[in-house]
Amino acid sequence: MESLLFFWFSWILWVLISFFMKSLARFYLAAAILVGMIVYPLAWSGEAYTVPFAFGVALITAIVWAGNVPKKRWLSLIVCALSLMFMYAAIELAYWFSPVIFYAHDVWVPAAAIFFLTVFVYRYRDSRYPLAMLALCFGELLTGWVLVPLREGLFIADALFFNRLTAVLVLFVVWHMIESLVQRAGQYHHHSRRKKVTLSA
């Protein structure tokens, strides 16, 4: 049941990407989501480590996607990704050590924090997706390394991580749909005003 949110959001993302996305990357992103859902139960594990295969799919997808971002955006992308990575790791560690944040929702609070900061800090809309994915993946790795002495091993990317990752991506999709609707409404209003001015002249 703890993975239900991940599969639900993954299917929503797959449908939106497969049928509504106009980019050439549509096929690869849809395939990455399907592969991630298929290999989700599998993990590379031992006595002192557990790394889900789906985490590798998410990390590789984020790196490849970020690599296709125009080169002039790379510096800002890297700086923002590092900042968000440390912030996500701090939130993760706070859930372990802070008695106050423990009562906050463990999926939507981190997801909303990453979402809002990405929206208000990084202005390139299409590059926000790989930015958030990079921040969450490397933030999860950083948290895993910090908690090695406490956990007695490297255990990363549990169900909470995938729930947060897909929740952030769905929030971006909803936000960008709202942005597009507002932009179209503004263009329609501007066009109507110009038409009225032309007719009155």
pLDDT tens per residue, range 27-67: 888 899 999 999 999 999 888 889 999 999 999 999 999 99
Give the number of other Cβ atoms within 10 Å of residue 87's Cβ.
Answer: 16
Whether the pLDDT of residue 194 is over 70: the answer is: no
Where does residue 67 rank: exposed (0-12), middle (13-18), buried (19+ CB within 10 A)?
exposed
**Residues 141, 178: Cα–Cα separation, whole Å:** 33
Do 141 and 81 contact (CB within 8 A), yes or no? no
pLDDT tier at 19, thresholds 50, 70, 90: confident
Look-up: residue for tokens 């590789």? 60
Domain residue limits, the chain? 4-200
Q: What is the pTM of this model?
A: 0.87
Mean of pLDDT over the chain: 88
**Residues 190, 95: Cα–Cα separation, whole Å:** 48
In angstroms, what CA-CA distances link 62 with 28, 114, 120? 12, 15, 20
